[in-house]
């Protein structure tokens, strides 16, 4: 199993990373992406000596677009072989912690870097699908994944037509707010599907007893739930999504 989104630099996980990773390996996680969402987090990740199964990203989340230090501040990390994706980058029009113009400008710098370096972009989209898709379509050849996908069928088809992969979390297993997403999960081609915890966030509500924080060790629970939505064998889904992640991130 490969978890494409773990916020190991988050304050909730930082003090416990050794135990979290140990539990992940015991749960048969074979690899994971540790996400950088701003300059400090990205630098923290690249300053550590991680297990070889931990792969890194570097970038600025749209929430922090107004704090973006510029591409030069990230360039050494982006070129580092340990960096397998640029981001987390993208657009978030739900919380609007940075204005739209700034978000788009910062996203463009990172998408351009991904295209220039031949690395995939790990993208965030919350209620901004049309604008993010336009940025992607303006960059033919851009590879990447829309992670923690929560969009509708129109957004899904747009991203698939643009050649992107789709990352799913436990959101689609949430009986309160994930029903519309659950309905379109079967329409994602298996060879374009990736799975993730987005830990410590999005604790699966179907996990009993329900822990306080999400961890990569719970990725199998999410995979089994997604397989059920799709009417597929969980082992087949796990094998294919693992292969998809390794192919996309070349790790």
Instruction: Return d(Cα 174, Cα 182) in angstroms, integer.
Output: 9
Instruction: Return d(Cα 199, Cα 216) in angstroms, integer.
Output: 7
Element at 80 (helix H, strand E)? none
The b-or-e profile of 51-61 (16+ CB within 10 A means b, else e) is: eeebbbbbbbb
Residue 147 among known ligand-binding residues: yes
Instruction: Return d(Cα 146, Cα 239) in angstroms, integer.
Output: 20
Residue 134's CB: how many other CB atoms inside 10 A?
A: 11
Residue 191 among known ligand-binding residues: no
Residue 40 among known ligand-binding residues: no
Instruction: State in Å, rounded, how far the first CA of the chain is from the last one.
Output: 13
Residue 88 among known ligand-binding residues: yes
Q: Which residues are annotated as a binding site for a divalent metal cation?
A: 88, 124, 147, 198
Q: Which residues are annotated as a binding site?
A: 88, 124, 147, 198
């Amino acid at each position: 199993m490969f978890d494409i989104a773990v916020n190991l630099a988050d304050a909730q996980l930082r003090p416990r990373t050794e135990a979290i990773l140990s539990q992940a390996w015991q749960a048969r996680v074979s690899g994971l992406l540790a996400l950088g969402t701003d300059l400090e987090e990205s630098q923290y990740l690249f300053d550590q000596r991680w297990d070889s199964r931990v792969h890194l990203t570097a970038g600025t989340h749209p929430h922090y677009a107004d704090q973006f230090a510029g591409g030069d501040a990230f360039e050494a990390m982006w070129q580092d072989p340990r960096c397998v994706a640029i981001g987390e980058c993208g657009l978030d029009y739900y919380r609007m912690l940075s204005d739209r113009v700034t978000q788009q400008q910062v996203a463009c710098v990172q998408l351009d870097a991904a295209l220039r370096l031949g690395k995939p972009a790990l993208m965030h989209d919350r209620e901004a699908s049309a604008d993010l898709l336009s940025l992607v379509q303006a960059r033919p050849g851009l590879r990447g994944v829309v992670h923690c996908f929560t969009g509708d069928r129109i957004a899904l088809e747009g991203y698939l037509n643009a050649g992107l992969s789709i990352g799913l979390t436990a959101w689609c297993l949430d009986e309160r707010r994930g029903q519309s997403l659950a309905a379109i999960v079967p329409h994602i081609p298996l060879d374009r599907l990736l799975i993730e915890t987005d830990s410590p966030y999005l604790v699966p509500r179907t996990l009993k007893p329900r822990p306080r924080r999400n961890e990569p060790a719970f990725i199998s629970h999410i995979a089994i739930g997604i397989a059920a939505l799709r009417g597929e064998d969980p082992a087949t889904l796990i094998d294919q999504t693992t292969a998809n992640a390794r192919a996309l991130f070349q790790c």
